[in-house]
Every structure is written in structure tokens, then in C-alpha cells.
């Protein structure tokens, strides 16, 4: 992010020795520098931020306040108008929202579901030890940080709200096989596992008679010990203990090649900001 913003934080008049890297050991200095930066009217590219701050706040929010306050996100997914709960599963707070689009026969693009990702701030802070010396600007676009979140056993929930009215179980299975099995393959190189068995077990949750009308809610969550828990409209359909499966599912939403890029950015920024906020 630092580079895309053109922020090397080079020289701040009056703060000659300021170094972003060492900011955690001198949080006040970092704060002062950030405040100075915004006071100086350092022009920042806010375009990539606009999706996570309520639109009317954008012009009033400076980088300093963003980094220090809890960067909050709107519970409304703009393209679909879907509204998400601010909190689920006893304390997991919304990190970002997005939309899953798909092509029908390569002709027409449809919105299939809107999604929101959630985690508890206390759990996110478990990553603090490793990243205590990193500045927010460094974490925000940091591949290793995202990879660590995917790897970790931080409990998280991804809530899917179906908006497409004619979603059939066959499309779900096909799409699932495509998007998840590629990821299972990719990640299993470092974590040998019986992929077929995993896939079969997960797919067995999707019964032929299962209906997924518009308004259905699917919750996929990673629980302690890498247990993937699946719920449909609040009813649990199954649990599978597999680090690989948890990681592959979460990778869809904030991995390297996410379903919705701006959602991933929003999730990542909020993860970083909550890690940094005391
Ligand atoms: O009906 O032909 C069709 C198009 C459906 C597109 C399916 C995309 C499936 C996305 C997976 C949904 C998981 C809940
Ligand atoms: O959007 O391509 C995708 C992947 C969706 C993965 C989630 C599938 C879980 C669906 C459970 C439905 C059970 C009927």
C-alpha cells in the first residue's frame, strides 16, 4: 500500500529521524508523524479506501485517524444492497463485504451472493507478537500477513447471503468443485492430505433437495482447531476438521486471487487496523 500511495514517508519537517519501521517502539512518534503528515496536507490517494468508509465520511477522514481509530466498514454491500449484521457468533465483527459474481454461459454476469467476513478483535491480536514492529501501512498490502491469517487458527466467519433467485444445487456443486478443489490442490503441496476424501465429505453436506432461494444465508466458519463449520439459515449441516479446507475456503475471500478484489482489500485493511488498535 505504501508504494501504491506513493508514501515513502521520507522527510517530515521537524521529524527528521522518523522511521516507520520502528514505529511500534515509539507509537507516539508514529502518531505524531501521521498527524503531521495529514496536517501538512499530504495528498493521499483515497480511491482504494472509499469502499470501507461510509462515503460521506471519506473527505473528513485523514490517514492518521484511519490508522488509529478502528477503520470500520459499512454493513451494506453496495452493488446488491445486502445488509449484514455488524457482529456474528458472539463477538466476531464485520471486516468487509463483497459480492460473488458469475457468468451464465459466458454471456451474462449475475450477482450470486453478497458476503461478509468476520473475526473477533481479541483473536486478531494473537498475531500481534509477530507484527508488533510493522506499521499499518506495511501490513495493509502485505502478502505474508494475509498468508498468516489464512494459516492461523483465528476463528472467522464468512456469511453468504444469496441474491440470485435461481441458484440450483448443481451449480453450487460445480462451482464449488472448481473454486475449492483448485485451492485444495494448490495448498496441499505443502500439506499432503486426502483431497478427494475431503471434497466428498464437504459436498455430502449439499443434499440434492437443499433449496437455496434468494435470501438464504450460508455461514462458513473456521472454529478453534481448524474446524470448518457450515450452516444454512442457522442450521448446522456439518463440520470438518481440516486446516487445508479452512484455508482453501477463506482463500476464496481474501487470498491471492479473491472472488472480489475490493472486498479482500477492505478485509485486509480492517484486519491490519484491528491488530494495531489497542
Ligand atoms: O444458474 O446457470 C446458472 C448460473 C449459476 C452460477 C452459479 C455460481 C455458483 C456460485 C456458488 C454459490 C455457492 C453458494
Ligand atoms: O462462490 O464459488 C464459490 C464458492 C462457494 C463455496 C461455498 C460453498 C458452500 C455452499 C454450501 C451450500 C450447501 C447447500
pLDDT in tens, 48-95: 333 333 333 333 333 333 443 455 678 999 999 999 999 999 999 999
Longest Cα–Cα distance of the chain, Å, equals: 68
Ligand 1, closest atom to CA 218?
Answer: 14
Q: What's the rounded mean pLDDT across residues 194-201?
A: 88
Q: What is the pLDDT of residue 160?
A: 98
Closest ligand (CA of 210): 2
Q: In what order do the strands lie in the sheet with 235-241?
A: 87-88, 92-104, 108-119, 156-162, 217-223, 227-232, 235-241
Instruction: Please check the confidence at residue 265 and state whether its pLDDT lies above 90.
Output: yes
* Cβ-based neighbour number of residue 90 at 10 Å: 7
- Report the pocket of ligand 2 as residue ranges, CB < 6 Å: 100, 172, 175-176, 179, 205-206, 210, 212, 218, 220, 230, 232, 252
Average pLDDT (98-124) is 94
Which ligand sits nearest to residue 171's alpha carbon?
1
Which mutation among 111, 116, 172 tests ligand 1's pocket best, with the greatest number of atoms within 8 A of CB?
Answer: 172
Q: What is the pLDDT of residue 245?
A: 95
Highest mean pLDDT among 44-48, 72-76, 99-103: 99-103
Q: What is the mean pLDDT of the chain?
A: 78
Number of Cβ atoms within 10 Å of the Cβ of 165: 10
Minimum CA distance residue for ligand 1 atom 14: 172
β-pairing, 235-241 vs 217-223, is unpaired
Q: Please compute the mean of the pLDDT values over residues 194-208 and round it to a whole number.
A: 88
What cell does 127 get?
498475531
Rounded CA gap, 224 and 104, in Å? 37
Q: How confident is the model at residue 162 (pLDDT cuts 50, 70, 90)?
A: very high
What is the structure's pLDDT at 122? 94
pLDDT category at 278 given cuts 50, 70, 90 is low
- Rounded distance from Cα 253 to ligand 2 centre (Å): 12
Q: What is the pLDDT of residue 5?
A: 35
What is the distance between the terminal CA atoms of the chain, rounded to a whole angstrom?
22
Model pLDDT, residue 71: 58
| Alpha carbon nearest to ligand 1 atom 2, residue | 104
Work out the average pLDDT over 197-215: 90
Q: How far apart are CA 109 and CA 112, in angstroms?
A: 9
pTM beyond cutoff 0.85: no
pLDDT at 115: 98
Interstrand relation of 92-104 and 87-88 (parallel, antiparallel or unpaired) = antiparallel
The answer to whether residues 114 and 264 touch, using CB atoms and an 8 Å cutoff, is: no
Rounded average pLDDT over 118-143 = 87
Which ligand places an atom closest to the C-alpha of 181?
2
Q: Is the pLDDT of residue 178 over 90?
A: no
Q: What is the model's pLDDT at position 191?
A: 67
Q: What is the best residue among 103, 167, 169, 172 to mutate for testing ligand 2's pocket, by most ligand atoms within 8 Å of CB? A: 172
Indicate which ligand has the atom closest to the C-alpha of 162: 1
- In this prediction, residue 72 carries a pLDDT of 67
Residue nearest to atom 7 of ligand 1 (CA): 171
Set of cell numbers at residue 192: 499432503
Share of the chain above pLDDT 70, in %: 73
pLDDT score of 28: 40
Amino acid at each position: 500500500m505504501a508504494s501504491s500511495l506513493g508514501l515513502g514517508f521520507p522527510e517530515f519537517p521537524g521529524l527528521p529521524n522518523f522511521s516507520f519501521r520502528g514505529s511500534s517502539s515509539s507509537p507516539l512518534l508514529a502518531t505524531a508523524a501521521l498527524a503531521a503528515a495529514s496536517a501538512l496536507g499530504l495528498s493521499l490517494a483515497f480511491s482504494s479506501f472509499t469502499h470501507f468508509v461510509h462515503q460521506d465520511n471519506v473527505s473528513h477522514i485523514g490517514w492518521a485517524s484511519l490508522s488509529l481509530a478502528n477503520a470500520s466498514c459499512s454493513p451494506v454491500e453496495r452493488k446488491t444492497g445486502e445488509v449484514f449484521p455488524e457482529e456474528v457468533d458472539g463477538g466476531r465483527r464485520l471486516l468487509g463485504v463483497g459480492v460473488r459474481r458469475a457468468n451464465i454461459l459466458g454471456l451474462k454476469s449475475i450477482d450470486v451472493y453478497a458476503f461478509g467476513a468476520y473475526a473477533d478483535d481479541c483473536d486478531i491480536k494473537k498475531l500481534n507478537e509477530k507484527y508488533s514492529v510493522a506499521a499499518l501501512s506495511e501490513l495493509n498490502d502485505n502478502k505474508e500477513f494475509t498468508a498468516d491469517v489464512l494459516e492461523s487458527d483465528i476463528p472467522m466467519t464468512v456469511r453468504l447471503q444469496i441474491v440470485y433467485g435461481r441458484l440450483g444445487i448443481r451449480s453450487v456443486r460445480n462451482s464449488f468443485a472448481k473454486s475449492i478443489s483448485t485451492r485444495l490442490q494448490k495448498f496441499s503441496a505443502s500439506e499432503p492430505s486426502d483431497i478427494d476424501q475431503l471434497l466428498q465429505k464437504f459436498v455430502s453436506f449439499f443434499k440434492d433437495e437443499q433449496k437455496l432461494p434468494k435470501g438464504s444465508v450460508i455461514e462458513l466458519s473456521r472454529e478453534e482447531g481448524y474446524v470448518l463449520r457450515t450452516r444454512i439459515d442457522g442450521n448446522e449441516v456439518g463440520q470438518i476438521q481440516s486446516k487445508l479446507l479452512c484455508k482453501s475456503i477463506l482463500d476464496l475471500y481474501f487470498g491471492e486471487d479473491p472472488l472480489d478484489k475490493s472486498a479482500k482489500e477492505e478485509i485486509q485493511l480492517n484486519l491490519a487496523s484491528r491488530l494495531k488498535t489497542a
